[in-house]
Structures are given as C-alpha cells and as structure tokens.
Amino acid sequence: MNTVNIQIPSLVENIRIVESFIDNAKEQFKISDDLYANIMVAVTESVNNAIRHGNACDKDKNVSLSLILDNNKIKFLVEDEGPGFDFNNLADPTAPENIEKPGGRGIFLMQNLCDEVNFSKNGAAVEMVYNL
C-alpha cells in the first residue's frame, strides 16, 4: 500500500497545490487520462468545499489530502477542521428548482465521477475511491 499526504492552509488559491499533487500522482502511478480528468474535478471540488464550507476560508485551519493506492483502487481522502454537514439531506442539483442555482453541484459531481464516495467525521472527511 502506497500513501502520500499533504496539508494546505484554507485559502482558495491553494487549489493549485492540489492540482500539482494530482499531476504528480498521474505520473507516479500511471493514471489514465480519463481517470485523471475525473480525479482532478472531484478532488479539487472536494478540497474547495473543505476550504470554503468546512473551514470557512480560515487560513489558520488546514485541509488534509491523502492519496492511498491499495490493490486495484486509488483513494483520495480530504479532511477539514470544520464541524461537518448533513450529507444525507442534500438538495438535488438536477431538480427543476435547483437547476439555475450557482452552487450545490460539488457532491453530485463527486458521486458521479468516483466509483465510491464515503463520508465520515460528520461530513468533515470524504473518501473518493476509483477502481484501477
């Protein structure tokens, strides 16, 4: 099992660090272009949510990102220092009343771009799993 971890302060501009982390993982673990695109969108969306919603853009709070390569799966674990949220009662972004809203699609995207999405710590941690 291979594990790589980084921690970033909760500043939106640090998303570029996450993009570099994913670029490096693509090279190191020979991730296909299709899978790479899905990972890039889902993981950056998750980190963005952790920065904005979980840690409320508090630069004194960190977001942790871990990559775990295990058998035929690659997992990304994103964790913030916030209180979490009710991930079981999210508005459906595809519902007519929500289509025009500017936000609310991140978790929907994650669930559609990953093979598996698991929340823990009351929603302050999310694991995104991809089958290789």
pLDDT of 64: 98
pLDDT of 32: 96
pLDDT of 30: 93
pLDDT of 89: 87
Beta bridge partners of 130: 74
CA-CA distance, 88 to 6, in Å (whole number)? Answer: 28
Cα dihedral across residues 89, 94, 95, 100: positive or negative: positive
pLDDT of 1: 84
Average pLDDT, the chain: 94
| Alpha helices (H) in 50-124, listed in sequence order | 106-113
pTM (2 d.p.): 0.94
Helix H or strand E segment including 64: strand 62-70
What helix, strand, coil percent values describe the chain, rounded to 5?
40, 25, 35
pLDDT of 24: 96
pLDDT of 124: 97
CA-CA distance, 39 to 21, in Å (whole number)? Answer: 11
pLDDT of 63: 98
Low-confidence ranges of the chain (pLDDT < 50): none
pLDDT of 31: 95
Domains and CATH numbers, the chain: 2-131 (3.30.565.10)
pLDDT of 105: 85
